[in-house]
Amino acid sequence: MWNRIWAIVTKELRQLSRDRMSFGLIVMIPLIQLMLFGYAINTDARQLPAGVVDLEQSSYSRALILAAEASQVVQFTAQYSSMIEAEAAITRGEVKAVLYLPSDLDGRLLRRRAAGENPELSEPLGQWLVDGSDTVVASSIRGLRNMPLQEVVDQAFVPGSPTLEVVQYFNPEQRTVVNIVPGLLGIILTMTMVLFTSAAIVREREQGNIEFLITTPVQPFELMLGKIVPYVLVGFVQIAIILGAGNLVFDVPVRGRLDYLAMAAMLFILASLTLGLVISTIAKSQLQAMQMTVFVLLPSILLSGFLFPFEAMPRPAQVFAEALPATHFMRMSRAIILRDADIFSLQYDALALLAITAVGLLIASSRFSKRLN
């Protein structure tokens, strides 16, 4: 009996060693997860892009700005002249927060000093305007409310009210589900669209239909395009289910225009489907296609900003994440659904998805040969 069992074990090990895809999956999945969680994933938001509205333009306001930047939580990348410009920048996603310093900052400092033993009479020196749709970012900015004034004025202050107020836009209640539901659109569509199309060509080969396709006058580009069109409708059905259930069950608002969301979803679905077609032209079986899909799905979950702040990742990880369709759609869906952004202010991500679709179609078409060998 043991000899027969050992013979089967030996046979399975030899077969596994010949299957390069399965062997690579065994080795690479632990390494990828180790690298992602140990190097790229960071739950502590640092160097968040922020703007400033400084109406005081004094030494005190400049000292307060430097003190905020010294915390390494924010990095001021833009300066605005009014609150309207600052709010528009947050809506477009250019910055995660804006520090607003009023024109009477000196007077507020004097009144705060005069409050002395009555700290409850103290008034905040300014405000943080925060994109509250990302709960991790909002939590990090809230930590800057009680900035030590000794760094601004060389004089001790009696602790009182927070130094700065925090105004959270789009999700003032800080409900995690508000941030999660729009992100789920990208993750679920990535899972289904890539998985469906990654087995498209392989399935034709395994079922013996590839010979019929070879004898038809259909060109490779036409075949690739025809393979992805039916799944576009599937993608929109899934979007309707997620948004509908999210709104009815979890009361997740949809503030943006549905036509903008449909345009963004169309770009993302096409990019995901073409990525699946590329995998389909590489894989030799449907099992291999499913295994290769894992290499797309895992980074899409961890690096796209779905669970962890995109800005908190190191620069090399951000560059890699920019090549994933889910990263661009994650930004677009949250901007449209939660911040009521228009599609024209998200043109960078839209063009990136178009580029991924075009490159994917070219690669898939060039790899598909109308020959049996």
Q: Is the pLDDT of residue 217 over 70?
A: yes
Question: Are 180 and 136 in contact, with CB atoms under 8 Å apart?
Answer: no
Specify whether 154 is located in the same domain as 241. no
Q: Is the pLDDT of residue 253 over 60?
A: yes
Residue 292, pLDDT score: 83
Asked if residue 8 is part of any domain, the answer here is: no
Of 99, 74, 133, the residue nearest 312 (C-alpha): 74
Q: What is the CATH number of the domain that holds 155?
A: 3.40.1710
Specify the pTM. 0.83
- For 321-370, write each residue's pLDDT tens digit: 999 999 999 999 999 999 999 898 899 999 999 999 999 888 887 876 54
Asked if residue 5 is part of any domain, the answer here is: no
* Pick from 17-31, 125-139, 283-297: least confident: 17-31
Residue 117, pLDDT score: 52
Question: Are 28 and 65 in contact, with CB atoms under 8 Å apart?
Answer: no
* Pick from 4-13, 172-181, 214-223: least confident: 214-223
Q: Is the pLDDT of residue 372 over 50?
A: no
Of 126, 150, 169, the one marking the end of a domain is 169
Specify whether 113 is located in the same domain as 188. no
Instruction: State how many domains the chain has.
Output: 2
Question: Are 291 and 28 in contact, with CB atoms under 8 Å apart?
Answer: no
Q: Regarding predicted confidence, which is higher, 4 or 330? A: 330
Specify whether 193 is located in the same domain as 326. yes
Q: Regarding predicted confidence, which is higher, 98 or 13? A: 98
Specify whether 182 is located in the same domain as 137. no
Q: Regarding predicted confidence, which is higher, 10 or 213? A: 10
Specify whether 188 is located in the same domain as 160. no
Specify whether 158 is located in the same domain as 189. no
- For 109-141, write each residue's pLDDT tens digit: 887 777 655 555 567 889 999 998 888 888 889
* Pick from 29-38, 134-143, 171-180: least confident: 29-38
How many CA atoms within 13 Å lie on the side-chain side of 175? 13
Q: Which domain holds residue 263?
A: 175-367
* Pick from 248-252, 298-302, 345-349: least confident: 298-302
Asked if residue 15 is part of any domain, the answer here is: no
What average pLDDT does range 27-45 have in this prediction?
71
Of 55, 101, 62, the residue nearest 81 (C-alpha): 55
Of 129, 151, 169, the one marking the end of a domain is 169
Asked if residue 276 is part of any domain, the answer here is: yes
Q: Is the pLDDT of residue 148 over 80?
A: no
Specify whether 197 is located in the same domain as 101. no
Residue 134, pLDDT score: 84
Asked if residue 42 is part of any domain, the answer here is: no
Q: What are phi and psi of 127, to 5 degrees?
A: -140, 150
Residue 152, pLDDT score: 63
Q: Is the pLDDT of residue 99 over 90?
A: yes
Asked if residue 23 is part of any domain, the answer here is: no
Asked if residue 268 is part of any domain, the answer here is: yes
Who contacts 201 (Cβ-Cβ below 8 Å, separation ≥6)? 210, 227, 277, 280, 281, 368
Of 169, 191, 214, the one marking the end of a domain is 169
Specify whether 118 is located in the same domain as 262. no
